[in-house]
Structure 1
Amino acid sequence: MRVALGLACLIWVPVIAEAQERPTRDAAGYLADVTGVWRSPDYGLLAEIRRDGLSLYHEAGGLCLPDARDAEAQAEGFAVWSPVEGPVAEAVFAEVPGGTPYLFEGASGVPAACHQKLTPAQRFDFAVATLRQHYAGFAARHIDPEALLAEVRQAYPVIDTDDALWGALSRIFIRLNDPHSELHGVIGGVEIELAAGEAPTLTAVGDAAAQKTWLAAYRDGILSGLLRGQGHHVGNNRLFWGVRDGVGYLNIVTMGAFDAKADPSDTQALEAILDEALTAFQGTRAVVVDVSNNRGGYDSVSRTIAARFYDQPRLAYQKRPWREGQTTTSTSVVIQPSSRVRYTGPVYVVTSDITVSAGEIFALAMRALPQVRLVGSTTRGALSDQIEKPLGEGWRFSLSGELYTNPQGEVPEGRGIVPDTPWSVFEGRGHAANLAAFIDGLKP
């Protein structure tokens, strides 16, 4: 989900700040310098790179499972690399030049365990070991993992069927209540899934049909009410913008998919829309950027938008993988000002409990600016990349395996980003009326 950097600069602290990235492949396949077996303890990954291809494995608790995705998907994070100077063989791999770096160390080979079929009990043990080693949200969500595991073991003392495996694991994932931690299984040939962590605001709205009606009212309220019929609904219906009484208004409902014919992470259409909107915002007394209904997407898109409000390079946030109760390597994200149309006057970023994932990354990046204030309600608290893991037999799960921090070192994972000025976004008169009242209160 989180791929190319866009306008951000990543610096891996401390080992490769000056490293020179190199391609891993030529026309004939992987280059000799990267062939071999590489292990990432931070993510529980093992990569076997051969001249003719790459095989990815996942390790936890002495167990191992091959990655179930196709060859192209497995190779995504290994397009470029940088060697790391030191007493042992280490390398940093990334999906694209300047992309999120993943540190790997040389390994002697692929363990035999990676080629053995696991029983339902072993698959349960693999999932539990992975969560113990890499899940970053236990403390933030006030969960004692050992107490939770003891409870599950008592309910399922024997896990020897897929039904028991689903029952045991679903108890864990329901307790996590984390939008980035999902469980997908297959029982009797039927695919089932568990995705928790819904926003209370959306839970209160009701089922899918009720939410569809709610979204239509949300859209009409912005266009007819807030922007008085003078607004723009563009970017594959992902963006609203307009000007109300000398204040610019920009609403972003996803961080990506702005062009139905392009890759979801593509920003060409987005950049053109931002050029038009920010040109119209020049001379306004303030701009309101509304991500109160933002459902996430790509961090690179969040940074691309945030860069339109940056006046100079600034540290936006840091990102660390979580391993066995501690953070190890760290990535600092510095956003550079966009070379296109920018707005550097007063900005208010509107958030809510719906704001999640890359929407929260945007809020984090914007909060680093002195002219920005966050208003609304606390965000969902699910910032980590969604780390996907196989579970064998067509099963898989995901978890939040990273911690994001603001420049002051504060961790919003599991807690959410608290606005500078709290106020209700959706309650009372509703979203459009509440936003109109807020904008009208921004007197010259």
Structure 2
Amino acid sequence: MAATGQTRHSSSTPGFDRLQGAWRSRGYGKVLLIEDDEYTFFEETAISCLRLHTGPLDELGHRYEDLKVSPGQKAFSARRATGVTRVGFRRLQALPDTLADPHGRDKEDPEYNFEVFWHTFAEQYALFPLKEVDWYQIYLRFRPRITSDSEPEVLYATLAAMLRPLRDGHVRLDTPWGHYNAGALPALYKRLDAELEEAGEHRETTSYLRELRDWLREVIHLDYLGGQVRHGCNHMVEWGHLNQTTGYLNVRAMAGQSGKVGHPADDLAATHAVMQQVLAELGSLPSLVVDVRGNGGGYDGVALCFASYLMDRKRLAFTKSARQGDGLTGQQAVYITPATGDTYGGNLFVLTSELTASAAEIFVLGLLQHPRLTLIGDPTLGILSDTLERHLPNGWHLTLSNEVYRAYDGETYEDIGIPPHIRLPFLSRRGRESGRDPMLDRVLKLAR
């Protein structure tokens, strides 16, 4: 997806048929083999090269767009269709030697899987300095726990324990023996935990939070929007009038707008359609509230598509770099260009919370140069990097953060979140006891 969220569809391979041979990505740990009528992706570490996926060559043209090939065809770059990332590839003389396994290692071997796991993070994880984690010391501590006879449950528990110090919500390990997310719980959960303990209630914090969010949504619908709520994009988008001068737009996720799972192009088309409808109804109002307090993310391209309908002119949204060797790739600049047709030109109030995560944070990051922006709420969660998907030889699946995002001014908000201009707690007890939404009340006061 382009920075505006616009995408181009290809009816045939966009020149990939001219690029037969083996290629290694710059960052991302991928090897690509292009043959006459098919392609194969491999996941590479210093000790492994695992076959990931093989498909027809025209499929590659739907995975990657905007192909640019160097003179002499020694390198090329293309943009991933599911986001805004441009990935570069350099030609290899042959596939890596690690593809052939002269030792005939068993893919289920616990020691082999441990080593591939450790090397994957050692070579691809971009945030070790930020997290203050010495990954080699982690190796020395945990490697003795795994032998060739270790049970899968022991391997899973060991790998999960290795990930715990990262405290990164984009780091996950999925196995038949368990699913582990290394993210730290937001302070909101601790606050609600304390409320439940004080009340002597023995219930899950997640269900309590869900109940409070449902309550707030009903309050907004009935008391602030007067029951006149419009829905679109598979109920992922809601909007209405707070009063005669201020509109309200709630974007609940950055994926699923089409009602289909894993169809970013369809989500993008639905986003364009709904934003044109929203602006037709709210675009002339002096002020607009965009609520992303419960938005847990999705696709960056969808997030920037929403932002393109709110931006005044082309502006730098952010730069991003991927882990490569002992450093990072060059910085890729991503811009927001106003969408074709009507865009919003009034005062913009964006509501955030610790539940505002991932692609929803990219939405906020892209708007930071907006000349009439006011952020209200809590800092966002602070997990901005894309998730790099990887696999172990035994088929276990994991994700990790392999990128560094920087705001237009060079600031990084990984871990700490994007801070608001006006800090107000999400789902505060005082607001609930009064039956009000303090953030919306503050907007209405400012808008006057």
Q: Give the match for residue 91 of structure 1.
A: 76
**Alignment match of 2:442 (pick from 424, 432, 438):** 438
Superposed CA deviations along residues 94-145 of structure 1, whole A, max 9, x for unmatched, are 3449953211111122234324344321221112112112112222233232
How far does the alpha carbon of each residue in 1:322-366 deviate from its partner, in whole angstroms, 9 at most, with x for none? 224422222111111112321122111111111111100000001
Instruction: State the distance in 2 between where 1:148 and 1:98 align.
Output: 33
Quote the offset at 1:433 in angstroms: 1.7
**Pair 9,144 (structure 1): closer, same or farther in 2 beyond 3 Å:** farther
- Name 1:25's counterpart in structure 2: 13
Q: Which residue of 2 aligns with 1:62?
A: 47
Write the letter of the residue equivalent to 2:147. V
* Alpha-carbon distance in 1 for matches of 2:436, 2:166: 33
Work out whether residues 30 and 52 of structure 1, in 8 Å CA contact, stay in contact via their aligned partners in 2.
no
CA contact (8 A) 1:137 1:414 kept: no
Deviations 1:162-215 (A, max 9, x none): 23321221012222222211101235xxxx311232544357473554454344
Q: Does residue 88 of structure 2 align to residue 103 of structure 1?
A: yes
Q: 1:45: how far off?
A: 0.9
2:142 to 152, 161, 178: 152
Name the structure 2 match of 1:181.
171
Equivalent residue, structure 2, for 1:236: 234
2:354, 2:41 → 1: CA distance? 36
Aligned residue pairs, count: 421
Distance change in 2, residues 1:264/1:81 (3 Å): closer
Q: Report the Cα offset of residue 50 of structure 1.
A: 0.6
Letter in 2 for 1:71: G
Q: 1:53 aligns with which of 27, 38, 43?
A: 38
Identify the residue that residue 329 of structure 1 maps to in structure 2.
330
**What does residue 392 of structure 1 align with?**
393
Summarize the Cα distance change of 1:98–1:401 in structure 2 as closer, same or farther, 3 Å threshold: closer
Residue identity matched to 1:201: L
Q: Give 1:82's aligned residue.
A: 68
Match of 2:188 among 195, 201, 220: 201
Percent same amino acid among aligned pairs?
26
Q: Which residue of 1 aligns with 2:255?
A: 256
Shift of 1:9: 9.0
Q: Is the 8 A contact 1:250 1:288 kept in 2?
A: yes
1:122/1:360 CA distance change after superposition, 3 Å? same
1:42 to 19, 24, 27: 27
Return closer, same or farther for 1:376/1:82 CA change in 2, 3 Å cut-off: same
The Cα shift of 1:36 comes to 0.2
Q: Which has the higher mean CA deviation after the structures are superposed, 404-413 or 420-429?
A: 420-429
Unaligned runs of 5+ in 1: 11-20
Q: Is the 8 A contact 1:381 1:414 kept in 2?
A: yes
Q: 1:160 to 1:319 in 2, by over 3 A?
A: farther
Match of 1:315 in 2: 316
Distance in 1 between residues matched to 2:168 and 2:115, nearest whole Å: 20
Which of 87, 92, 117 is 1:127 aligned to? 117
What TM-score comes out, normalization by structure 2 length? Answer: 0.85
- The range that moved more, 332-341 or 229-238, is 229-238
Structure 1 CA distance for aligned equivalents of residues 416 and 327 of structure 2: 18
Q: Which runs of 5+ in 2 are unaligned?
A: 194-203
Q: 1:434 to 1:25 in 2, by over 3 A?
A: same
What does residue 272 of structure 2 align with? 271
| Residue 432 of structure 1, CA deviation | 5.3
Residue 201 of structure 2 corresponds to none
Q: 2:424 matched to which residue of 1?
A: 423
CA distance in 1, matches of 2:440, 2:315: 31
Aligned mates of 1:23, 1:159 — CA distance in 2: 49
Contact 1:8 1:333 in 2 (8 A): no
**Is the contact between residue 24 and residue 81 of structure 1 (CA under 8 Å) also seen in structure 2?**
no
Separation in 1 of the partners of 2:94 and 2:254? 39
Letter in 1 for 2:69: P
Whether the 8 Å CA contact 1:255–1:294 is kept in 2: the answer is: yes
Q: Matches of 2:189 and 2:54 in 1, distance apart?
A: 34
**Maintained 8 Å contact 1:288/1:348:** yes
Q: Which amino acid aligns with 2:251?
A: I
SS state of the match for residue 71, structure 1?
Answer: strand
Mean alpha-carbon deviation: is it higher for 429-438 or for 44-53?
429-438
Secondary structure of residue in 2 paired with 1:56: strand
Aligned to 1:5: 2
Distance 1:58 1:288 in 2: 43
Contact 1:278 / 1:342 at 8 angstroms: preserved in 2? yes
> What is the CA–CA distance in structure 2 between the aligned matches of 1:413 and 1:337, rounded to whole Å?
26
Q: Aligned partner of 2:140: which letter?
A: A
| Residue in structure 1 matched with residue 200 of structure 2 by the alignment | none
Q: CA deviation at 1:83?
A: 1.4
1:353 is matched with 354
TM-score with structure 1 setting the length: 0.85
Measure the CA separation in 2 of the matches of 1:351 and 1:128.
35
Report the CA distance between 1:66 and its aligned residue.
1.7
Instruction: Report how far residue 298 of structure 1 moved.
Output: 0.9
Deviates more, 1:294-303 or 1:410-419: 410-419
Q: Deviations over 1:261-301 (max 9, x none)?
A: 68354233333322232233244332111111111011111
- Structure with greater contact order relative to length (CA < 8 Å, sep ≥ 6): 1
Shift of 1:85: 4.3
Distance (Å, rounded) in 2 between the aligned partners of 1:312 and 1:142: 39
Q: Which moved more, 1:291-300 or 1:243-252?
A: 243-252
